[in-house]
Amino acid sequence: MADLFEVSAINSMKLENRFVRSATWEGLADDDGSCTPRLIALMEELDTGGVGLIISGHAYVSQEGQAGPRQLGIYCDELIPHLSKMTEAVHRQSGKIVLQLAHAGCRAAFDLTGKKPLGPSNTDKEDSSLCKEMTHEEIHHTVESFAKGAVRGQQSGFDGVQIHAAHGYLLSQFLSPFYNKRKDEYGGRIENRARIVLEVLGAIREKVGDQFPVLIKINSEDFVQDGFNVEEMVQVAAMLEKAGIDAIELSGGTVDSGKFIPVRPGKIDSEEKEVYYREAAKGYKEKISVPLVLVGGIRSYSVAEQLIKTGLTDYISLCRPFIREPDLIKRWKSGDKSRSTCLSDNLCFKPVRAGEGLYCYTAKKLRNK
């Protein structure tokens, strides 16, 4: 029976426990996407706080794929020296850190990039009318950008990379029939919609070698009408398994999913309200043997322990609880096993969007009372 604090491995990456800091846009990079001392200090704090694996905030692999202000970038070699300082800081304390590789697709920030957002299909929605259907050449170029980003991650000393194919960003848009209306070999049946994701994985693997951990984050479902669903998720997971992925993080939702967005608002004050994607994880585990990293609404030690002991997941991934308490795992390990104090009120987005960088807005407000 698996244990939360046992040593495990994802490919060549040895992990001290089964807790993961899920990718979190910190808004602490410089305007050009380069890593800053404040971002390094946050990673050190998380590592000291006891989490087994940190996944970086989504890093844009090409400039037209930037999603938000002060987002981490991985689009050129000049970014490597500063990122190396971040991985060195985490490794000094024997922690592990994986770089999340991303492209925002139709959700790219035109005001920051000055470039027309590219996605699987043109959209006629007013607020995203600028989104342009990618040509085959642009798809090929984007696949290469992911591979180059992975190589830069490896050169910067990251312990692995995670492909961001969730939450309605570019690769998730391709997977989803809600966003992907293409009539060519990248649209239509699920094998076609998954093509670009598998091309990205293949191109990365070819460049980084077999030993380097390559993870992916996908949606369990989109929670939109005619979106990507659990059945398709299991099919895509099987394709990724065959293609040699090392771990799959299961999330869900997109910006268009109403109350089922990836960061569901609302206090989680009972065990019943925890674990957004429990049923999807069950479906995954029936068919797939690649290690599962489960994220979304996990808040209690007892729930995390049960999830691991019953084999519903292999890793417990948390985001908002670590914004509130970067040392949550240390606290749990030391014997104080009370639930995370995170309120899931999403006020943490406020300072990030305002360019101040990530912190728990609610905790600060309470302290200043």
Binding stretches for ligand FMN (CB under 6 A): 22-25, 57-58, 100, 164, 166-167, 217, 251, 262-263, 295-297, 318-321, 348-349, 352
Contact 132, 120 (CB under 8 A): no
Q: Smallest gap, in angstroms, from Cβ of residue 46 to ligand FMN?
A: 13
Q: Smallest gap, in angstroms, from Cβ of residue 259 to ligand FMN?
A: 14
Residue with Cβ nearer ligand FMN (18 or 320): 320
Q: Smallest gap, in angstroms, from Cβ of residue 185 to ligand FMN?
A: 27
Residues 6+ away with beta carbon under 8 Å from 87: 97, 156, 157, 158, 159
Q: Smallest gap, in angstroms, from Cβ of residue 263 to ligand FMN?
A: 4
Smallest CA-to-CA distance from 240 within 273, 196, 206 is with 196
Residue with Cβ nearer ligand FMN (196 or 304): 304
Q: Smallest gap, in angstroms, from Cβ of residue 210 to ligand FMN?
A: 25
Residue with Cβ nearer ligand FMN (133 or 352): 352
Q: Smallest gap, in angstroms, from Cβ of residue 257 to ligand FMN?
A: 13
Return the structure tokens found at 116.
């027309």
Contact 164, 171 (CB under 8 A): yes
Distance, in Å, from the CA atom of 313 to the CA atom of 306, rounded to the nearest integer, reads 10
Residue with Cβ nearer ligand FMN (133 or 152): 152
Distance, in Å, from the CA atom of 252 to the CA atom of 39, rounded to the nearest integer, reads 26
Return the structure tokens found at 172.
């998730």
CB burial of residue 316 (10 Å; 0-12, 13-18, 19+):
buried
Residue with Cβ nearer ligand FMN (133 or 297): 297
> Strand runs (DSSP E) across the chain, as ranges?
8-10, 13-15, 19-21, 53-55, 59-60, 97-102, 118-119, 132-133, 160-165, 214-219, 247-251, 292-295, 315-318
Q: Smallest gap, in angstroms, from Cβ of residue 57 to ligand FMN?
A: 4
Residue with Cβ nearer ligand FMN (55 or 208): 55
Residue with Cβ nearer ligand FMN (46 or 133): 46
Residue 293 DSSP SS3: strand
